[in-house]
Structure 1
Amino acid sequence: MTESVPVRCPACRREHLYAAPSFPCVCGAPVAPPLDRRGTATAVTHRSWAEDWIRLRCGSCGRLDEWPHPELGCPCGTVLRIAVTERADVTEGTEVPEVTEVTEVTEARKGAVPRAAAAPETTAARPKPRRPFQPVTIRTARDAVTAAAVYLRWLGYQDIRRADQRPPTGIGIAARGLVAQVDPTVRPASLRDVECLWLTAMTESADCAYFSLAGYATDARTRADALGVPLFVLDLTGTPQPVNSPADELDGTGA
């Protein structure tokens, strides 16, 4: 269980007891930001990607990713950004050491022939099965973006960040080789929304995916099928549901 820390609102001086939520890493292990018991919470007056997200390393597999900065809503209406320790921010570019396969270590102990000297295998290696997806409950527009980012990370995409180009509607996020759009409104995504996302992906030589809370207009779904754009609907549990064939394929095979 994550340790709770006292947090005082700088606006009304009310004190709260806060425990940081944990999010699932690709390996399935929970990742939670280390809270600074001596730090002071600050009021959120504006939003920026650099302040809303922090880089954390999974303690189980060593994977480095971006995760939502812990926040708390005070009854007075102030949104508090919770202080974290310096261990939460890791210098970019740090290499994650490779983990030796357990089977290789076992063979070495038994005196078996190393893999490099063994005869080549005739069958293709099977991809490692993914762990069950652990969704993030959606209560706000920011939760919808977080849910989409966690899902893309589960699929195997890396370096998830805010997209360089802002979409006409919704919020754009990007990963290595992918541009995605998250629409947290109650309006179904339109034909223009899908086409704009596809054009943005084409200019960046990347794949794309669309996440919507309210679904899609009929012509938008037809156009997405023709362009090969994966469409997902986000339910309030935070689980993306594929709604066309490209999305089914992406959900099944991953990045």
Structure 2
Amino acid sequence: MQALAQTYKDGPYGNADTIVNTRAVFTLRKNARLEETRDVCLDIRSGKELVAVARDTDDLMSYAVGSMIAKLADRGLVKDEMEVFDTLSSTFTKDSFNQADEKRFNRRTVFEHLSLNGLVGKGLSIREAKPAGTLPTISEISRIVENYRKISLDQIQSAARSRDIVDARFIAIWAMRYVCGHSLTYIGEQLGNRDHTSVLNGVNRIVAIRAGDVGKRHEIDNICDESDVLALRRHHAILINQSNVRRLF
């Protein structure tokens, strides 16, 4: 079995995870998504243009996570990006990819994993790890909140105090704080000129909800993840359009 694994070795995460059909019916599964993430990171670190990296990447979340890790490495916020990928390979397996969609292997879950394992500095916010142009806008966040809660941005920004509107407002506050890393003052300005103490109250309320209700925690995380995906798709589409324009000349 060891010799077979060596024969089909094609990357640091290839052996134990590569699907190989042999006479002995050995099955090794390759973690292709994480390998593409690693390649994105290495391409960016080597100086490859972001437009070219986006064009050559098949998976949106591989591009997103790879570019995030590249930024952390460029700023010296991770000591060794290969150590990062070795650690991720033991957690984000082929099976975990199959069990969920792009929202599961994403910048939030990877950043949380790196933080818990001490691979990024203490107190570092996810906003500092995200490349420029990849943060969701208030419009994108409110669109996802409305999909889940049927509450519009106008209602969130209003003075209304009904329970459903307040809950949706708190979720929007949470997303703007922890997906985008915006200041309490900025969030208050964008959500109806509220003072920072009201915004902080919303943040604390969501902390309590996530700690005490697993179902609501998953819903809030999904809203955050889907908002992040909207921003990533917008950013990625801009890069692909730039690539297409260049090909015309």
TM-score range, shorter chain: under 0.3
- TM-score of the superposed pair, with normalisation by structure 1: 0.27
* More RCO (CA 8 Å, sep 6+): 2
The structure where helix makes up a greater share of residues is 2
| Normalised TM-score (structure 2) | 0.27
Structure with the higher fraction of residues in strand conformation: 1
